[in-house]
């Protein structure tokens, strides 16, 4: 690992707003990181246009072209290692990664999830928080472990659930916090990698 600049890859599957927030943060002069690539598993992901507009390299690895999770993960792993990636940020990457892949990147694989983990792993987190009558909801950035949406928590941000909230209005407030939480968590991880905390 270079002492001055950690080589980062961002993985996404859809709209790419967290990818954009991270890319914007990494581009700041005082962040000791370099965005070497983004990868998406979906050729139709909206985030691809964001990358094109910003001049960010984006590799498409369509999971439908592979006949097993292992084969897809092997291709992903090879692509990241060929680019000398040192830290992977999953940002709305909606694909389960195999245990072998995850264990190959110990504490070098981060994820963001739209709930206050360990609550509501998986999908439809905003709807589930509303149905449970939760007063608080939020997002979590965590180190990834082979279990879905699990691993040591780095940053959590909460939002209040308001009367009349729908899954969409709640999601709008949570995503704002996601865009703050992920850069904050990245800074903490970079400091740890540099041995300064
Ligand atoms: C975000 O809300 C992110 O937390 C979630 O997908 C959305 C992606 O939005 N990720 C997960 O649910 C992972 N389990 P984005 O493409 O605009 O960043």
89 lies in a domain?
yes
1 lies in a domain?
no
Residue with CA closest to ligand 1 atom 12:
113
31 lies in a domain?
yes
The parts of the chain modelled with pLDDT lower than 70 are 1-3, 197
Ligand 1 atom at minimal distance to the Cα of residue 121: 14
| Nearest CA-CA partner of 162 in 118, 129, 125 | 129
Pocket, ligand 1, Cβ cutoff 6 A = 12, 14-18, 91-92, 112-114, 149, 175, 178
**Which of 113, 144, 145, 150 maximizes ligand 1 atoms within 8 Å of its Cβ, making it the mutation to test the pocket?**
113
Instruction: Give the pLDDT score at 2.
Output: 45
181 lies in a domain?
yes
Ligand 1 atom at minimal distance to the Cα of residue 112: 4
Tell how strand 6-12 and strand 33-40 pair up. Answer: parallel
59 lies in a domain?
yes
Q: What is the pTM (predicted TM-score) of this model? A: 0.97
Q: Determine the structural domain holding residue 57 and report its residue range.
A: 6-196
Q: Tens of pLDDT along 147-169?
A: 999 999 999 999 999 999 999 99
171 lies in a domain?
yes
Residues annotated as catalytic are 113
Kindly give the distance from the C-alpha atom of residue 3 to the centroid of ligand 1, in angstroms, as a whole number.
30
**Which of 89, 114, 144, 159 maximizes ligand 1 atoms within 8 Å of its Cβ, making it the mutation to test the pocket?**
114
Please tell me the total count of domains within the chain: 1
CATH code of 80's domain: 3.40.50.170
């Amino acid at each position: 690992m270079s002492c001055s600049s950690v080589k980062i890859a961002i993985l996404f599957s859809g709209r790419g707003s967290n990818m954009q927030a991270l890319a914007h943060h990494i581009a700041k002069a005082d962040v000791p990181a370099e965005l070497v690539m983004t990868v998406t598993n979906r050729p139709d992901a909206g985030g691809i246009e964001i990358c094109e507009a910003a001049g960010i390299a984006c590799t498409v690895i369509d999971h439908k072209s592979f006949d097993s999770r292992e084969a897809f993960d092997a291709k992903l792993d090879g692509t990241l290692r060929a680019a000398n990636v040192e830290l992977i940020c999953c940002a709305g990457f909606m694909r389960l990664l195999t245990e072998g892949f995850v264990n190959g990147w110990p504490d070098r694989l981060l994820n963001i999830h739209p709930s206050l983990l360990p609550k509501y792993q998986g999908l439809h987190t905003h709807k589930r928080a509303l149905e449970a009558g939760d007063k608080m909801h939020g997002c979590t950035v965590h180190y990834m472990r082979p279990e879905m949406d699990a691993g040591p928590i780095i940053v959590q941000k909460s939002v209040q659930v308001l009367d009349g909230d729908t899954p969409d209005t709640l999601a709008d407030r949570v995503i704002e916090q996601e865009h703050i939480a992920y850069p904050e968590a990245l800074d903490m991880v970079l400091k740890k990698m540099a041995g300064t905390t």
